[in-house]
């Protein structure tokens, strides 16, 4: 089934809830500027293994309300909590990709653990602790990178999204890449379902939110997965630092895998996710 939940600040959030309601829940958190559809391969896989699978569209994304306000990591986490609370998810595994990894870190640290709802967490190609170059993290990316994303989105969102999907997101710009047009089209479809304002303001949310404290607060076992050819979120500034900050982390770096590895390398990722969930 799929349905909607209304958050405390009145935002309608779309979610999917598939599988046995008494099974252990696995909740998926998507990346920018996509939707819960980006987890199709993982949701069907875990469903086939007997799990309850849940995913939602972030505010302003997919089928959720295109509201003007709240496009920041704190609201993203609170919206995820609204879904988890509404479905009364317990002993849950939370898996987040890219911006969704930041959402998982914020949700688990600020809501899930205090409420006793979380068993494990997984960060896939995730943005924490912070993408932006700062005094604390001098290895980050300069603000000009993110200003460029904003400029491209504002000038022609449709073409910008096409270029991201056809290029660096899946490594389709690499020599000899196995370019899949359906994957590009599906990325573009998901992006264009959402709100330009949510996507524009989401760039600040995923690049400038320092989540050091969130990571340090996550005491449950956490799996960190990153590709060493991630052209969107460089693994040395993300996955490696996450593993250092998390109290109970397992780090796996995949040689040659791109940012969108959960889609184009789903067979490998799914097996490793299942092994972690079952461990």
- The reply to whether the predicted model has a pTM over 0.75 is yes
Q: What is the pLDDT of residues 203-222, one digit of tens each?
A: 999 999 999 999 999 999 99
- List, by residue number, the catalytic residues: 98, 230, 259
Domains delineated in the chain: 2-278 (3.40.50.1820)
Q: What is the pLDDT of residue 2?
A: 64
Q: List, for residues 231-276, the tens digit of each pLDDT value.
A: 999 999 999 999 999 999 999 999 999 999 999 999 999 999 999 9
DSSP, residue by residue, the chain: -EEEEE-TTS-EEEEEEES-TTSPEEEEEPPTT--GGGGHHHHHHHHHTT-EEEEEPPTTSTTS---SS--SHHHHHHHHHHHHHHTT--SEEEEEETHHHHHHHHHIIIIITTTT-EEEEEEES---S-SB--SS-TTSB-HHHHHHHHHHHHH-HHHHHHHHHHTTTTTTTSTT----HHHHHHHHHHHHHS-HHHHHHHHHHHHH---HHHHHH--S-EEEEEETT-SSS-GGGTHHHHHHHSTTEEEEEETT--TTHHHHTHHHHHHHHHHHHH-
Cβ partners under 8 Å of residue 254, min gap 6:
225, 226, 227, 228, 261, 265, 268
Q: What is the pLDDT along the chain (279 residues), one digit of tens a residue?
A: 669 999 999 999 999 999 999 999 999 999 999 999 999 999 999 999 999 999 999 999 999 999 999 999 999 999 999 999 999 999 999 999 999 999 999 999 999 999 999 999 999 999 999 999 999 999 999 999 999 999 999 999 999 999 999 999 999 999 999 999 999 999 999 999 999 999 999 999 999 999 999 999 999 999 999 999 999 999 999 999 999 999 999 999 999 999 999 999 999 999 999 999 999
């Amino acid at each position: 089934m799929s349905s909607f939940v209304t958050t405390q600040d009145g935002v309608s959030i779309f979610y999917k809830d598939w599988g046995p309601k008494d099974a252990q829940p696995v909740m998926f958190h998507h990346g920018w500027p996509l939707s819960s559809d980006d987890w199709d391969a993982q949701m069907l896989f875990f469903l086939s293994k007997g799990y309850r699978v849940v995913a939602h569209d972030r505010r302003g994304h997919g089928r959720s309300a295109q509201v003007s306000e709240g496009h920041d990591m704190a609201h993203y986490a609170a919206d995820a909590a609204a879904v988890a609370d509404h479905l009364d998810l317990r002993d849950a595994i939370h898996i987040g990709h890219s911006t969704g990894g930041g959402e998982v870190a914020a949700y688990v640290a600020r809501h899930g653990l205090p409420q006793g709802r979380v068993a494990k967490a997984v960060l896939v190609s995730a943005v924490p602790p912070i993408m932006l170059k700062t005094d604390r993290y001098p290895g980050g990316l300069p603000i000009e990178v993110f200003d460029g994303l904003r400029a491209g989105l504002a000038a022609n969102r449709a073409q910008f999204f096409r270029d991201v999907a056809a290029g660096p997101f899946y490594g389709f710009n690499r020599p000899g890449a196995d370019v899949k047009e359906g994957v590009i089209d599906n990325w573009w479809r998901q992006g264009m379902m959402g709100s330009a304002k949510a996507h524009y303001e989401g760039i600040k949310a995923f690049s400038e939110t320092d989540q050091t404290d969130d990571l340090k607060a996550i005491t449950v076992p956490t799996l960190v997965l990153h590709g060493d050819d991630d052209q969107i979120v460089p693994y040395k500034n993300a996955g490696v630092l996450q593993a250092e900050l998390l109290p109970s982390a397992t780090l796996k770096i995949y040689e040659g895998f791109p940012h969108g590895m959960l889609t184009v390398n789903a067979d490998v990722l799914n097996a490793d996710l299942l092994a972690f969930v079952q461990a």
